[in-house]
Amino acid sequence: MSNEMMALAKLHPRAGLWQTTAPVPEIGADDVLIRVNKTGICGTDMHIWHWDDWAAATVPVPLITGHEFAGEIVEIGRNVEGLTLGQRCSGEGHLIGKTSRQSRAGKFHLDPGTRGIGVNEQGAFAEYLRLPAFNVVPLPDSIDDDIGAILDPLGNAVHTALSFDLLGEDVLITGAGPIGIMAAAVARHAGARHVVITDVNPDRLALAAQVTDVTPVDVRSEDLRDVIALLRMKQGFDVGLEMSGNAAAFDQMVEAMTMGGRIAMLGIPPGHSAVDWSRIVFKALTIKGVYGREIFETWYKMIAMLENGLDVSRVITHRFAARDFAAGFAAMADGSAGKVVLDWRG
């Protein structure tokens, strides 16, 4: 194996990523080395590409970016047990500490010292990735590398959707990005009665209808009150999944919820957003903030659902060779793409 690899890195504090040559990572006793086969491009990668205020304040330069991946183990640290050479895997991109109260209680996803591969540490947009063995998630043969490469965002969708019981419930999802669309598929798989997804992008709404049985609503021309009446719902929605980070969408969701409804929020509103808390109080709404995935319960749940018939494959709309990464980022920026996957072995 060569000691050098191709990678995509943030080399300069401005918009863009650059193809570069980097040393193959050296692993420690508790790590594995993964040969990367496929990677997904996500919204975080777009923030880093555009070098917005969040990226400039968070991401060190230089840094190999990317955190959605599937590959196979090619080297194992001397302390690692339970993993084998050649084993196919994905992995949890949140690197946690082991000393916080949350971690010691087994609530790893809430560790305040969490660092992210491709954000704070060297990432997966490379031919090889070093990862703590603790973070490795083996892939069954039934899950191919394309799906393995998007398990990270699917995990966000699963974590958000399964925040509340969905069986027989009416579910409203605001934001038809890839994670919102996958959350709709999860809600349907989990037994929701009606699943409605809203957006202002007709391409994304059309994609949602292709991926799963969902009612897409363009809020520029349709009123949610009319949708509620059309679906013969006697009250509002029981469960809301806020995926857009748009303050107006959140207001629409609050208005459309039934008394005692529950909202899980994954979308991040920009800056400080005005909220009419009186409507939330008088409707007795429960609001839960969602960050990342539950480590590792979410991974267990989503792999089980995929093995039991959950199909999100159509959310992948574009595939490119890794060297054509600029075209992949352009497709994401266009706003019509679902998930974009880069092939590192083609």
Catalytic amino acids?
Answer: 44, 47
Q: Please write down the HEC assignment for all residues of 29-43.
A: CCEEEEEEEEEEECH
CA-CA distance, 327 to 304, in Å (whole number)?
33
Q: What Cα–Cα distance (Å) separates residue 294 from each residue in 51, 224, 299?
A: 28, 32, 8
CB 137 within 8 A of CB 151: yes
What is the DSSP secondary structure assignment for residue 26, as one 8-state letter? Answer: P
For residue 299, the one-letter residue type is: W
Q: What is the DSSP string of 259-320?
A: EEEEEEE-S--SS-----HHHHHHTT-EEEE--S--TTHHHHHHHHHHHTT---GGGEEEEE
> Which residues make Cβ contacts (< 8 Å) with residue 142, sequence separation at least 6?
306, 307
Q: What is the DSSP string of 210-227?
A: HHSS-EEEETTT--HHHH
